[in-house]
């Protein structure tokens, strides 16, 4: 994983920062981290770890590394500090007593962070709100203030121990643990009723008194201290304000905390109390948790207990409690309990022996999913055909009356139903009949709609789009040409023109005709920007990003993707779902820049959105699947990718057809995966078939075709058929020099493969020249962390090892990373 900083450097800065405190430390951090946010986050995290470790370290070593200011006896408001009782992420915690004669013991929290003016304002506002929060299971906020720039909070002093330790030390039976959790859920619900979110529910923040009463501490404190005014704080907070193993996915990704975040927190706490395990125990540190929570499935509570040798507990958890915790811990906030009160009610139902709602809904949800799947069994293309044949008039927006429109809709549904009954989505023959339908419809158009040009244009638009879906780009372009001509001649609306231009851009993109696509897409964006049509605008902007990306303007492309995501995020549910496409664009873009870990996160997010909103065999979902598989290969999880890829290819052959571009791309990824797994013969077979199919579909001088031939050659070379591999590579090399500009990385990728072949043939001198040139070229084009660059280094290392030049071998070995 690329960290964005050198770990040795991080140590260096960290150690120096450790010796400083207060403003001196802040100034030093600003100076030494500069714009490097990743380094800054790292140092902050190290300092925080140091803070936690401090008491322990000082005990262990006798001499504390830096003196703790002695504040015992000092006064804050009406309170005098009596004893240091602990320290949290926020700062030191003291036991304190009132100075005005009233007997009251409180816990005073001294906030380590300094608050700016706006932070201070916010601090007063929020603490006033919190002071109103009263509940027997919530430690009350008694007073708060700022003394000499330092904020302090007086909380009800709770003599007790953290809930996890309490449960374990007293060997609390399961029911008692569930009861505690229910009490906490009720307290959280009460706080939510007063619009206060905890944001940091975890065992350390729940103390249980000797009488067995649980109390949530630090309620809302995270919010109070969250200084959203500072621009940089957003990124830094990612590292600071969440606790791995208890934070919700949306917190990890830096989104604002909501009621659902606390529901997740309760779920995570419950998971710990009921199973004895934490979420993703194998994930280490903030980054590890981030990767785990965004990429891996959570173990069901019962399975987690079973895996840790507690079959009895597993049996108790199976069923209701599994369902309750899984619902609270759902990755998507919208699928969790709507409120903490609902969760509390379900826990209570469990205790009362009544069926819980989480379980019923799971069954219901499954039923819904089942229907959903079957409805979408017919591809988008078929649905469009339906509109074509049954509702041509509707599409021309010429429907005479509501009754007529309803009639059309009914006929369309009838048609859909008959299609559902007749066409088995698994027969694979559907595409053929759809294509035939399309062709006859195109011919019919002229005859039937020649007097209504704009209706004809809208039909042509549908035909063009459907042809894209079927991978029939020539037919699509022909229809699009006719459509644009009609729109220009007969004064189509700006929206229609913008849409037609977008379709054209898409057709060109699908064929890799980037240079032609660029002006067309820009025109579409310009036309659509002036209209209030976020969906169409996003479509065109997305296309623009793709074009930019493929013409080596990665920074512009990345910014454009983020612009699309931004617009879509503000849209309705459906538009929000569309984010999967820019996410996926970012996957490819980031992988190109060797930012593999980030790429995998976006790939996973895209796949999740797709799974949420698309049918199981929707071509877009299948695309997300092979994209995620590709991301897995890059983070060295090729073995996991293989079954996913095989499933995907099988589905794509069925849904899109065996010769479709997407199917072929998935096959390419599989070839790559097999190469990575050192199954070279299998890889060669897959690569050869794929290359031939690409060539038949798109011709030889095409980027996709050439990449597939390059795969094949690499596989040949790895399976000791170097001469055959070299022959293929020569063809690829010639064609690539025609297709790509000089200095393009793909030219060097070929050179790398040629070099490796010569290396295997023991033509060392030749190999050395080629590999060196390839490594330099790739490094210049994509940096040293790029997978192919690394492969070039590896090959050079091998070359020098084989020729006994161990010193040079060492140099190249040093450049290869994990």
Partner 1 sequence: MVESTSANPALTVLLERWSRGDRGALDQLLTHLYTDIHAIAVRQLNQERYSSLRPTALVHEAYLRLASLHEIKLQDRSHFLSMAARVSRQALVDEARRRQADKRDGGSPVTLSDTNIGDADQAFDAVDIDDLLTELERHDAEAAEIIGLRVFGGLTIEEVAESLTLSVATVNRRWAAGKIWLMRELAR
How many residues are present in the chain? 818
In the bound complex, what is the minimum distance in angstroms from residue 8's beta carbon to partner 1? 4
Round to whole Å and give the CA distance between 41 and 33: 9
| Min separation Cβ 805 and partner 1, Å | 20
570 binds partner 1 (CB under 8 A): no
> What are the phi and psi torsion angles at 145 (to 5°)?
-170, 180
Q: Does 319 bind partner 1 (CB under 8 A)?
A: no
Q: Does 287 engage in binding with partner 1 (CB under 8 A)? A: yes
Q: Does 424 bind partner 1 (CB under 8 A)?
A: no
- Check if the beta carbon of residue 229 is closer than 8 Å to that of residue 119: yes
Residue nearer to partner 1 on the CB measure, 362 or 794: 794
Q: How far is the CB of 14 from partner 1 (least distance, A)?
A: 6
Size of the site for partner 1 (CB under 8 A): 26
Interaction of residue 394 with partner 1, rule CB under 8 A? no
Match 């894209």 to its residue by tokens. 468
CB of 47 to partner 1, least distance (A): 9
- Closest to partner 1 by CB, 18 or 577: 18
Q: How far is the CB of 288 from partner 1 (least distance, A)?
A: 6
CB of residue 677 to partner 1, shortest distance in Å: 12
Instruction: Find, among 629, 649, 645, 626, the residue nearest to 637 by Cα.
Output: 629
Determine whether 706 is exposed, middle or buried from the number of CB atoms within 10 Å of its CB (0-12, 13-18, 19+).
buried
Question: 3-class DSSP state for residue 84?
Answer: strand
DSSP 355: P
Pick between residue 9 and residue 611 the one whose CB is nearest to partner 1: 9
Within positions 22 to 51, which residues make up the interface with partner 1, using CB under 8 A?
A: 45-46, 49-50
Q: Is 654 left (phi over 0), alpha (psi -120 to 50) or beta?
A: alpha
Site stretch for partner 1 (CB under 8 A), options 12-20, 319-327, 424-432, 709-717 = 12-20
283 vs 589, beta carbon nearer partner 1: 283
433 binds partner 1, rule: CB under 8 A: no
Q: CA distances (Å), 762 to each of 8, 714, 716, 727, 800, in order?
A: 39, 16, 16, 17, 12
Would you say 681 and 719 are in contact if contact means Cβ atoms under 8 Å apart? yes
> Is residue 518 within 8 Å of residue 547, measured between CB atoms?
yes
Structure tokens at 494: 């700006």
CA 732 to CA 637: how far, in whole Å? 29
Site for partner 1 in 450-479 (CB under 8 A): none
Of 3-11, 570-578, 627-635, 804-812, which part binds partner 1 (CB under 8 A)? 3-11
Least distance to partner 1 from the beta carbon of 785, Å?
A: 15
Does 5 bind partner 1 (CB under 8 A)? Our answer is no
> Is residue 61 a contact residue for partner 1 (CB under 8 A)?
yes
**Binding to partner 1 (CB under 8 A): which residues in 681-700?**
none
Verify binding: residue 67, partner 1, rule CB under 8 A: no
In the complex, minimum distance from the CB of residue 280 to partner 1, in angstroms, rounded to a whole number? 13
Stretch that binds partner 1, among 55-63, 627-635, 754-762, 794-802 (CB under 8 A): 55-63
Interface with partner 1 (CB under 8 A), residue from 285, 519, 643, 699: 285
Nearer to partner 1, 9 or 766 (CB): 9
- Binding of residue 413 to partner 1 (CB under 8 A): no
In order, the DSSP letters of 475-530 are HHHHHHHHHHHHHHHHT--HHHHHHHHHHHHHHHHHTT-HHHHHHHHHHHHHHHHT
When asked if residue 10 is in the footprint of partner 1 (CB under 8 A), the reply is yes
| 284, 426, 570, 720: residue in contact with partner 1 (rule CB under 8 A) | 284
In the structure encoding, which two tokens stand for residue 316, read together?
A: 């108790």
Other beta carbons within 10 angstroms of residue 428's beta carbon come to 14
63 binds partner 1 (CB under 8 A): yes
In the bound complex, what is the minimum distance in angstroms from residue 138's beta carbon to partner 1? 32
* Residue 732 binds to partner 1 (criterion: CB under 8 A): no
Residue 636 as a binder of partner 1 (CB under 8 A): the answer is: no
How is the beta sheet containing 214-216 ordered, strand by strand?
Answer: 160-162, 206-209, 214-216
Query: 520 to each of 249, 475, 478, 524, how far by Cα in Å?
Result: 39, 18, 16, 6
Q: Is 9 in the site for partner 1 (CB under 8 A)?
A: yes
Within residues 258-277, the interface with partner 1 by CB under 8 A covers none
Provide the b/e sequence for 435-456 (b: ≥16 CB within 10 Å). bebbeebbeebeeebeebbbbb
Among 288, 396, 658, 783, binds partner 1 (CB under 8 A): 288
Among 7, 132, 360, 369, binds partner 1 (CB under 8 A): 7
Nearer to partner 1, 296 or 426 (CB): 296
Regarding 802 and contact with partner 1 (CB under 8 A), the answer is no
Judged by CB under 8 A, the residue of 4, 22, 30, 53 near partner 1 is: 53
* Helix, strand, or coil (residue 35): coil
Q: 291: number of CA atoms within 13 Å, CB side?
A: 16
Q: Which of 14, 242, 350, 748 binds partner 1 (CB under 8 A)?
A: 14
Instruction: Single out the residue of 468, 500, 475, 474 nearest to residue 486, CA to CA.
Output: 500
Q: Give the Cα separation of 465 and 471 in Å (integer).
A: 10
- Indicate whether 362 belongs to the interface with partner 1 (CB under 8 A): no
Query: Crossing angle, helix 514-529 and helix 494-510, to 10 degrees?
Result: 160
Does 15 bind partner 1 (CB under 8 A)? Our answer is yes
Binding site for partner 1 (CB under 8 A): 1, 6-12, 14-15, 18, 45-46, 49-50, 53, 57, 61-63, 65, 284-285, 287-288, 818
């Amino acid at each position: 994983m690329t960290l964005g900083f050198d770990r040795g450097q991080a140590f260096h800065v960290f150690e120096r920062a450790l010796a400083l405190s207060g403003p001196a430390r802040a100034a030093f951090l600003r100076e030494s981290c500069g714009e490097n946010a990743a380094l800054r986050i790292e140092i902050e995290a190290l300092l925080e770890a140091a803070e936690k470790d401090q008491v322990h370290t000082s005990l262990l070593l006798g001499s504390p590394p830096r003196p703790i200011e002695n504040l015992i006896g000092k006064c804050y408001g009406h309170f005098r500090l009596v004893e240091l009782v602990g320290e949290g992420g926020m700062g030191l915690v003291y036991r304190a007593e009132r100075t005005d004669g009233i007997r009251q013991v409180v816990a005073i929290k001294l906030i380590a962070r300094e608050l700016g003016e706006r932070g201070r304002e916010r601090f007063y506002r929020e603490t006033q709100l919190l002071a109103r929060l009263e509940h027997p299971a919530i430690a009350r906020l008694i007073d708060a203030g700022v003394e000499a720039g330092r904020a302090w909070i007086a909380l009800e002093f709770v003599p007790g121990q953290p809930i996890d330790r309490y449960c374990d030390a007293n060997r609390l039976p399961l029911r008692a643990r569930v009861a505690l959790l229910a009490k906490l859920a009720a307290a959280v619900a009460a706080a939510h009723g007063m619009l206060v979110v905890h944001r940091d529910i975890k065992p350390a923040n729940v103390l249980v008194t000797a009488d067995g009463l649980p109390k949530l501490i630090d309620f809302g404190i995270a919010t109070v201290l969250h200084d959203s005014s500072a621009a940089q704080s957003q990124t830094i907070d990612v590292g600071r304000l969440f606790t791995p193993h208890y934070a919700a996915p949306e917190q990890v990704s830096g989104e604002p905390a909501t009621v659902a975040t606390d529901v997740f927190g309760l779920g995570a706490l419950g998971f710990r109390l009921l199973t004895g395990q934490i979420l993703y125990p194998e994930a280490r540190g903030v980054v590890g948790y981030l990767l785990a929570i965004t990429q891996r499935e959570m173990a069901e509570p019962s399975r987690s207990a079973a895996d840790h040798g507690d079959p009895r507990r597993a049996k108790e958890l199976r069923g209701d409690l599994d369902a309750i915790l899984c619902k609270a811990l759902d990755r998507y906030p919208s699928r969790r309990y709507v409120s903490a009160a609902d969760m509390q009610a379900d826990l209570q139902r469990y205790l009362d022996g009544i069926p819980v709602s989480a379980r019923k809904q799971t069954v219901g949800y499954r039923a819904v999913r089942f229907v959903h799947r079957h409805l979408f069994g017919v591809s988008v293309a078929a649905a469009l055909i339906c509109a074509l044949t049954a509702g041509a008039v509707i599409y021309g927006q010429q429907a005479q009356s509501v009754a007529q429109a309803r009639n059309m809709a009914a006929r369309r549904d009838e048609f859909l139903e008959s299609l559902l009954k007749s066409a088995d989505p698994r027969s694979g023959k559907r595409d053929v009949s759809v294509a035939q339908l399309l062709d006859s419809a195109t011919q019919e158009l002229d005859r039937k709609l020649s007097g209504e040009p704009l209706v004809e244009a809208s039909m042509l638009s549908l035909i063009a789009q459907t042809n894209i879906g079927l991978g029939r780009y020539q037919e699509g372009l022909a229809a699009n040409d006719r459509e644009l001509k009609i729109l220009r001649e007969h004064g189509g609306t700006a929206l229609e023109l913008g849409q037609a231009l977008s379709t054209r851009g898409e057709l060109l993109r699908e064929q890799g005709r980037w240079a032609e696509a660029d002006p067309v897409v820009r025109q579409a964006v310009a036309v659509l920007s002036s209209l209030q049509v976020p969906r169409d605008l996003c479509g065109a902007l997305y296309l623009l990003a793709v074009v930019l990306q493929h013409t080596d303007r990665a920074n512009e492309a990345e910014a454009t993707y983020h612009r699309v995501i931004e617009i879509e995020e503000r849209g309705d549910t459906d538009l929000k779902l569309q984010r999967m496409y820019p996410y996926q664009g970012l996957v490819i873009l980031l992988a190109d820049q060797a930012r593999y870990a980030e790429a995998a996160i976006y790939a996973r997010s895209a796949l999740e959105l797709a799974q949420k909103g698309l049918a199981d065999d929707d071509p877009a979902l299948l695309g997300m699947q092979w994209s995620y598989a590709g991301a897995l290969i890059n983070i060295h999880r090729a073995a996991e990718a293989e079954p996913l890829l095989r499933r995907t290819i099988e589905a794509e052959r069925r849904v899109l057809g065996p010769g479709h571009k997407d199917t072929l791309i998935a096959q390419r990824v599989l070839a790559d995966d097999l190469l990575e797994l050192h199954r070279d013969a299998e890889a060669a077979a897959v690569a050869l078939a794929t290359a031939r199919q690409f060539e038949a579909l798109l011709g030889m001088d095409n980027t996709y075709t050439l990449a597939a031939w390059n795969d094949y050659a690499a596989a040949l070379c790895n399976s000791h058929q170097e001469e055959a591999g070299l022959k293929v590579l020569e063809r690829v090399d010639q064609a690539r020099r025609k297709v790509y500009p000089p200095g393009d990385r793909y030219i060097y990728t070929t050179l790398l493969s040629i070099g490796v072949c010569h290396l295997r043939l023991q033509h060392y001198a030749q190999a050395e020249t080629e590999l060196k040139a390839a490594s330099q070229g790739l490094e210049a084009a994509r940096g040293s962390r790029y997978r192919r660059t690394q492969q070039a280094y590896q090959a050079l290392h091998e070359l020098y090892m084989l020729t006994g030049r161990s010193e040079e071998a060492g140099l190249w070995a040093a450049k290869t990373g994990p």
